[in-house]
Amino acid sequence: MRRQLLRAQSASGFPNRSSGTWAQGYRVGDTVFLQGQTGLTLDGALVGAGDPAAQTHQALDNLEALLAQAGATLADVVKIVVYVTDYAHRPLVYPILSERFPDPKPCSTGLVVKGLALPELTVEIDAWAVVGSGAESPGDPQGA
């Protein structure tokens, strides 16, 4: 099974990254692996410096754009890891996640970390998806 590069970005101009070109996402079969998304646009422009809500929206916009290149949507996301730089950001971030991800929401892990790649960043979201998995499956899942 071959991997399909969804989008790449040169490390030049990013002070905290080594040299070379980095993948922003891969599709392997029906599985999609995405680079952690932040308040940076896919081209590296900062949105909402120090603003967790604006950065969450930007991160999700980025995820949607990368997922679309793989033929997927936020409904196909099965797992996210959400990093925030302050516990106080959680009430600003999670309502946006709840609004943007359809039910049932993906499995989620939340972490409070000391910092991210740039000091202006307050939120980062990692995502894994399975293309086409967002359609409601038959049966009665536990707890539904």
> DSSP letter at 88?
G
Torsions phi, psi for 58 (to 5 deg):
-65, -45
Q: Tell me how crowded residue 40 is: count the other CB atoms within 10 A of its CB.
A: 21
What Rg, from alpha-carbon coordinates, does the chain have?
Answer: 15
Residue 9: pLDDT band (50, 70, 90) is: confident
Give CA–CA dist 81/140, Å, rounded.
26
- Give the model confidence (pLDDT) of 27-79 as tens digits: 999 999 999 999 999 988 999 999 999 999 999 999 999 999 999 999 999 99
Q: Are 7 and 24 in contact (CB under 8 A)?
A: yes
103-140 pLDDT, tens digit each = 999 999 999 999 998 999 999 999 999 999 986 544 44
- The fold adopted by the segment(s) 4-8+21-130 is 60s Ribosomal Protein L30; Chain: A; (3.30.1330)
Q: Where are the domains of the chain?
A: 4-8+21-130
Strands 77-84 and 107-112: parallel
**Rounded Cα distance, 66 and 131, in Å:** 12
What whole-number distance in Å separates Cα of residue 111 and Cα of residue 81?
Answer: 8
Residue 15's alpha-carbon distances to 10, 23, 71, 84, 117, in angstroms, are 12, 17, 32, 21, 9
